[in-house]
A and B are shown apart, each in its own frame.
Chain A
Amino acid sequence: AFGLYFPRKEYSENVYVDQPAGTPLLRIHALRDSHGEVAHFHLCQNLVISRARSHENNWFQIREKTGLLYLSKSLDREDFNMLSVGNWMPLSKLMLYVFLSSHPFQEKECDSATRTTVFLSLINATAPACSSLTARQLCFTEMDLSFHIKENKPPGTFHQLQLPSVHHLCQNLSISYKLLAAEGMPFRYNENTTGVSVTQRLDREERERYELIAKCTVREGFREMQVEVPFLVNVLDEDDSPPFLPNGTDTADAVVEFNRKEGTVLATLTVYDADTTPIYPLESSRKKYTGTIITDDPWISETFRVEHIFDEIHFSPNGSQVRGTQHEYKLVLNKSISVTEHRSFQLDVLVNDTEFHGPERSVMLHFNVSILPVSIQFPNVTYQFTVNRNAERFAQIGKICIENCMKFRGVNITYKLQSHNASCYAVGVLQGREDKYGSLYVNDSSVLRRPECKEIQYTIQATDKQSRKHTKTLLTIVLEGTLINKEEDCPDSCAVSKHRAECEECGGLGVLAGRCQWRQGSGKGITTNYSTCTPSIKTCPDGTCDVIESKDPAVCPQDCTSANIIGGHGKGTGNLGIRSGHGICYCFPRQNCYCEKDDIQEQLCDDVCKTVI
């Protein structure tokens, strides 16, 4: 197996003008996948300058066996200028790719997958004197001391603390290192080589992060300086844990009754895994961890699908927190199911951790599916509604609904009225978008005023669109009340009235008993409880523009207007209606609405005014 890898993604060092050939720059390490592998380092013969331009590498070489990068030829000022051409950023950076192989390199190409990047900062000055460098600069590079080591791999040396360039330049300084907080940790520091090695195979599921401190002491004569920097080791994960079931639960009930709509989640079962699963890129992780419905029945495979989502969870095996994965498998309806369907069966889902190489790589999940039929029938009563003779067109009388209609999803019911007495036909039915219930309303108010119409009988028929199943019941409308005279000069719409008195003496479209109703608001700022005149406080304004209100803009513009609203207000859902207003809100249908405080004559606050405050 080709398993050698770099414990760091990036290395960095500075290069100065006229540094002599042979100057060591930095040391690169490789870790092994299996015992006996020997690392060979190789440099791509291509320098990348400021990330786009490239140049042939004439200056840098790497020792194939040790990974020591050094200057093979001095970079003089001319070389510097050439490498900086077109690079108008103040600091030039060169990029080198170092490749790794378990065999001596035959062809000198740059196409191995295992590579690390070396950033060399070109500094347009000769190498600094050792005395001008701070302890931090003498001891460490700017790059964090952060490494990654794969779990389950043989031990080995992965870093050298001493900086080869500084060691070469400042030979009269004594620079020594120590690794603090390393007791009991699987790392060892070798004072002779300043190398840091990992001493045993690591297990990410035991611990995934080690935080140590690298301490450096610089002695120059009697002066002594110390620097400490964090030294971090992350353990990389591989798929070495099988899936398992929390509490051994592998069965769930999935019942289809009132909710039969495509996309409904019927039941969820959970599978845990101690390994991590990256959500990026998502699709490849989904492919690694599959959930398949095991069935020969084409109906089952058409009707159901399994959705897989996963999330990171934490657990603590021995005090330190490590990450794992929770996989959720949801049984979902792939299409809407007819109300007549009736069956029960067990549906098995095979979950497979495809990258785990062990015998327990899969678990079987069981869903006990029961699809119950639902009956289309009215509750065991006949409907009776009372309507005042003074009710106006679009007055809302009531709702009709088959049994459990509000629980239905994915079932479309249509309601129809059949008249017995054609001459007194005063009521209609309308359905909302959800097709759950029917709303009864007055569609011809002149019929209500005819003395011969006292009681109107209808048959209501409810039909399921998909199965054509239907049911019928009787509806009786009783007319009551005595006719009152209509006021002259009253507007069509209640919403036009601005004051309580004019509101309550007039009627308008949608009123139930001949008169509009006044809603007295709380009167504090911009509120949903604003004062307004409405045909019926129960339905208007209630924040939704229902099917009857939307038939005519004069019925309830407070819920339905899409025109301008002038004054302090908040708009309703979908930009329709007045959700909240300041003071009294009144509307001229098909024109503007106004919200204002009645008693103060101040300038109205429009959109712009609101954004100021």
Chain B
Amino acid sequence: LAGPPSLPGQDPHGWRVPVDCVRANELCAAEPSCSSRYRTLRQCLAGRDRNTMLANKECQVALEVLQESPLYDCRCKRGMKKELQCLQIYWSIHLGLTEGEEFYEASPYEPVTSRLTDIFRLASIFSGMDPATTSRSNHCLDAAKACNLNDNCKRLRSGYISTCSREISATEHCSRRKCHKALRQFFDRVPSEYTYRLLFCSCKDQACAERRRQTIVPSCSYEDKEKPNCLDLRNVCRTDHLCRSRLADFHANCQTSFQSPTSCPGGNYQACLGSYAGLIGFDMTPNYVDASPTSITISPWCSCRGSGNMEEECEKFLRDFTENPCLRNAIQAFGNGTDVNLSP
């Protein structure tokens, strides 16, 4: 029932193309009326909910003025310089306005416009690994080999593997914090044609699928002594600006859409895989739950035990990982080297 999806980033209706929040903040700071309203609004939002805030005349005026400023529509880019600062500016306005209690939050990141085909084109550069000649081979092993042939990928990969498998003491299996940091560096700084091949390689046997499951060193980065409740985990994630943003981005790009034959919003597999990879190294780190080669089940490390009256909501949240046709189609499409070509 939707109209044809218009390409984001373009500007068919004279809409403002968003600037990044760091830049928007600079623009606002240069303008006395904007900067004083921004200060006022931040004070209004601090520790108050949307409705009490709107009851205050001064706050309302500040909001109206800011709606016209570039700060209001600003966005951030994944892996940009000052990403955290950008997200802090974004949430300083949006947290109070969206009440922070919504099931799906809007993503602070710019929409992804590239397609999987861009990656396939680059991937074919790896000579001697033509899929035709290696039909019986282990794609996940090939992905590891390809990574090791690239200095940057090799360095950051052995970096996170050695950090994540270093035992601290008999009781502390590894330093989860350092492991997550190293994983984030790997996924932020290594081009996706390497990282996606490791994460989303297709498998025909269990050894391959186990290697795929082990990609992120789950014993350190994923598993924990106890499985928390998913809503509790979501809450922990939302206290951190980066985790909150990555989760919102995952919901924006991997949410099952009935309006697309691929089940993905705008039919964009690349965007969904990117925001999936963007969650790795945070509290909401997702992974394959087992080494089944064909049936892919993804989940964060949490369950819906002890949800009380929120069980429906918890299961809805968990299903966006475990039973998500968009995510599953995107992973399979990447593994098969197929992408959909959508007419813009």
Contacts and interface: CB of A to CB of B under 8 A. Distances in A.
Contact of A612 (B13, B67, B148): B148
A521 B258 CA distance: 62
Contact of A312 (B98, B158, B169, B305): B305
A237 B72 contact: no
Interface in B78-102: 93-94, 97-98, 102
B145 A612 contact: yes
Contacts of B305: 279, 311-312
Contacts of A110: 51
A249 interface: no
B13 A90 contact: no
Nearest to A310: B306
Given A90-B6, A312-B305, A612-B145, A146 B231 contact: no
B167 A607 contact: no
A143 to B, nearest CB: 10
B133 interface: no
B234 to A, nearest CB: 9
B105 interface: yes
Interface stretch (B36-44, B278-286, B309-317): B309-317
Contact of A280 (B17, B93, B111, B310): B310
B261 interface: no
Contacts of A354: none
Contacts of B131: none
A574 interface: yes
Nearest to A122: B3
Contacts of B144: 611-612
A573 B169 contact: yes
- Residue of A14, A128, A236, A312 with highest tally of chain B CB at under 10 A: A312
A604 interface: no
A613 to B, nearest CB: 9
A592 interface: no
A280 B306 contact: yes
Contacts of B136: none
A282 B226 CA distance: 15
Chain B interface extent, by class? 35 or more
B320 to A, nearest CB: 13
B8 interface: yes
B229 interface: yes
Contacts of B235: 280-281
B16 A278 contact: no
B207 to A, nearest CB: 13
A53 B2 contact: no
A74 interface: no
B118 interface: no
Nearest to A579: B167
A86 B16 contact: yes
A200 interface: no
A86 B72 contact: yes
Interface residues of A, number: 52
A375 interface: no
B232 interface: yes
A237 B309 contact: yes
Interface string B19-45: 000000000000000000000000000
Given A85-B15, A277-B308, A608 B232 contact: no
A121 B15 contact: no
Given A51-B102, A86-B73, A111 B308 contact: no
Interface in A16-63: 46, 50-54
Given A84-B13, A88-B8, A146-B312, A52 B161 contact: no
B1 interface: yes
Given A277-B306, A607-B162, A234 B312 contact: yes
B306 A279 contact: yes
Contacts of B8: 88-90
Contact of A276 (B5, B167, B309): B309
21 contacts: A9-B313, A51-B98, A52-B106, A53-B67, A54-B97, A86-B73, A87-B15, A88-B73, A89-B8, A91-B5, A110-B51, A111-B52, A237-B308, A276-B307, A278-B306, A278-B310, A279-B232, A279-B306, A280-B306, A575-B168, A611-B157
Given A88-B17, A281-B232, 15 more contacts: A9-B313, A84-B13, A90-B8, A91-B2, A128-B1, A237-B308, A276-B306, A276-B308, A278-B309, A280-B310, A571-B167, A574-B170, A607-B158, A607-B162, A611-B148
